[in-house]
Amino acid sequence: MYNCLSYFTHPKETMAFYHEYGYHIEHNVFTPAECDIVIEAAYELEEAKKGVFRPCMMPHRQHPIFLQALQKSKIVALIAAAVGGKPAGIQTEFFYCKPGTRGFSLHQDNFYVEAEYGVFASAWSPLVDTTQQNGGLIIYPGSHKEGGLPTRKLNLNADAGQDPNANNEETVVPEKYHAVSVSIPQGAALLIHGHLVHGSNSNQSDQARHVLLSTYIKSGSAFRAGNHAKRAEVELIPQEYIEKIALPA
């Protein structure tokens, strides 16, 4: 279940696929050189300098490279189409995912953000090729249509290389939905509906799986700031510029 079309050549088809299945993969959003620049910046962040490589929350507040990535025009255009209006950024997170890092449990991003249905979406951007072996994503196509799903608590030990919230609980997925492990190439962006159930595989390779997550809200919509994340709207490129680069959905 895969749509190989680009939003920038087939906007109606890609948005129809997104609303039906809850995701879209847009290729060639970041160049290989840009991916390398973001990775290099990640190792300049405070915790990385201390040798701590669990996911870094809100790196755009530490380094301008991550703010530039959050404002990437292609992603902003995709998000504007997905949420049906002018978007604002609310969160960034960088995943180092060193070899041996346990995968993120099944979840819906909106479980943490508590926004209204359809106004919140994420861009998961691998800075290296991702596969099932090195910690690529697991998605449940179509599960976003259920809205908020129940969760169950997990009894797992902490993983020093993983987000503290990664394994506290997991989403209970109705049996009619089936898991798909997606391999996504370097520089692409996986557009994720706020209610799509997804998680990630453990990294069983000998290389780190570097990924940048950027999340967005339809500007002016209510959302949960969070005690740790302290989410807040970040202004992106002007609406008139979005309209120039975005095609009609």
Domain with 18, as residue range(s), is: 11-245
Q: Is residue 6 part of a domain?
A: no
Residue 92, in any domain of the structure: yes
Q: Confirm whether 86 is domain-assigned.
A: yes
pLDDT of residue 240: 52
Say which CATH number the domain at 205 has. Answer: 2.60.120.620
Tokens (6 digits) for 67: 């703010």
Residue 2 lies in a domain: no
Residue 209 is assigned to a structural domain of this protein: yes
3 within a domain of the structure (yes/no):
no
Give the DSSP letter of residue 167. Answer: T
pLDDT single digits (tens) 121-161:
999 999 999 999 999 999 999 999 999 999 999 988 777 78
Nearest-angstrom CA–CA distance, 225 and 150 = 21
9 Cβ contact list (under 8 Å, min separation 6): none
> Would the pLDDT of 247 be above 60?
no
User: With 80 as the cut, is the pLDDT of residue 244 above it?
Assistant: no
pLDDT of residue 164: 77
Residue 149 forms part of a structural domain: yes
At 176-209, the pLDDT tens digits run 999 999 999 999 999 999 999 999 999 999 999 9
pLDDT value at position 113? 97
Q: Domain tally for the chain?
A: 1
Give the H/E segment covering residue 193: strand 189-193
CA angle, residues 108, 75, 221, in degrees to nearest 5: 55
Q: What is the pLDDT of residues 74-129, one digit of tens each?
A: 999 999 999 999 999 999 999 999 999 999 999 999 999 999 999 999 999 999 99
Predicted TM-score (pTM) of this structure: 0.93
Taking residue 185's Cβ as centre, other Cβ atoms within 10 Å add up to 13
Please provide the size of the chain in residues: 249
Asked whether residue 5 is assigned to any structural domain, the reply reads no
